[in-house]
Structure 1
């Protein structure tokens, strides 16, 4: 199992705007992902929440919410657009929607008034991760359900 963990890296980043409460930004992030570690970094005058994990299990909430909200097709499209090579993808989520436990994909920070939550997934085969999180559907139902990739 240890070899698997080193091949996977999940990074979650969200700007904490001056008018925002750190705990609310943390809640928004934790409503959709469960990072193993969280820290706040100061870059100039900007504060960034950074969460990290070395296992896809930290995306289990995201996996569940996608099914509960029945947005697999939209999620799959957003994930495919975020693919960067064979082993990396980045998606952006609306921070205020995440705070309420909902998902709304955005294409950049500018589409979310308080900034987006950026999730970067590094895995040897990111297409397998997409198939696990958001499989293709027919009439709104998954064609298949995959196990969490190793």
Structure 2
């Protein structure tokens, strides 16, 4: 899996604070700021994002956003830059001001499996396995 990160550093924003916002969620991302104040980054780890989603108890919302963003072998979503600076995951609709994140499944990987790993299904606030959901819906496993 490859994670691509992109955001514009606005004239009113401090470049170092924008870098900190990205690093708060993607700790080991390789980050560059281009001449036109576009910050780009790349990583192969979603560990911190997964931890934050669980700690904030937003698995269902995260899964919905990630599933909605699926296209072919990737999923795309936007994170609120100010929330990220504060160490909080907040999915954003502002595609122009937020942190654009694209998670790309590499050869042999399944984007839906990656999404399930990031934000698994829950019942009553607890993570459940896919098999348990199928059994509850009267789809006995063979």
TM-score range, shorter chain: 0.7 to 0.9
Give a deviation string over 1:12-70, Cα, whole Å, max 9, x none.
11110001111100010011113441111134xxx1110112x2xx2100000000000
| Greater C-alpha Rg | 2
Structure 2: gaps (5+ residues): 131-142
* TM-score when normalising by structure 1: 0.79
Structure 1: gaps (5+ residues): 1-7, 146-150
Match of 2:39 among 17, 24, 49: 49
Give a deviation string over 1:53-109, Cα, whole Å, max 9, x none.
2x2xx2100000000000000000000111011x11111111100100011112342
Structure 2 residue aligned with 1:72: 59
Equivalent-residue separation in structure 2 for 1:59 and 1:131 (angstroms): 13
3-state secondary structure, aligned to 1:119: strand
3-state secondary structure, aligned to 1:96: helix
Give a deviation string over 1:110-138, Cα, whole Å, max 9, x none.
5xxxx101110111311111111100110
* TM-score when normalising by structure 2: 0.84
Equivalent-residue separation in structure 2 for 1:117 and 1:34 (angstroms): 14
Asked if 2 retains the 8 angstrom alpha-carbon contact of 1:42 and 1:48, the reply is: yes
Q: What is the CA-CA distance between 1:144 and the residue it aligns to?
A: 3.4
How much is the aligned-residue C-alpha RMSD, in angstroms? 1.5
3-state secondary structure, aligned to 1:135: coil
| Structure with the higher strand share, 1 or 2 | 1
Structure 2 residue aligned with 1:95: 81
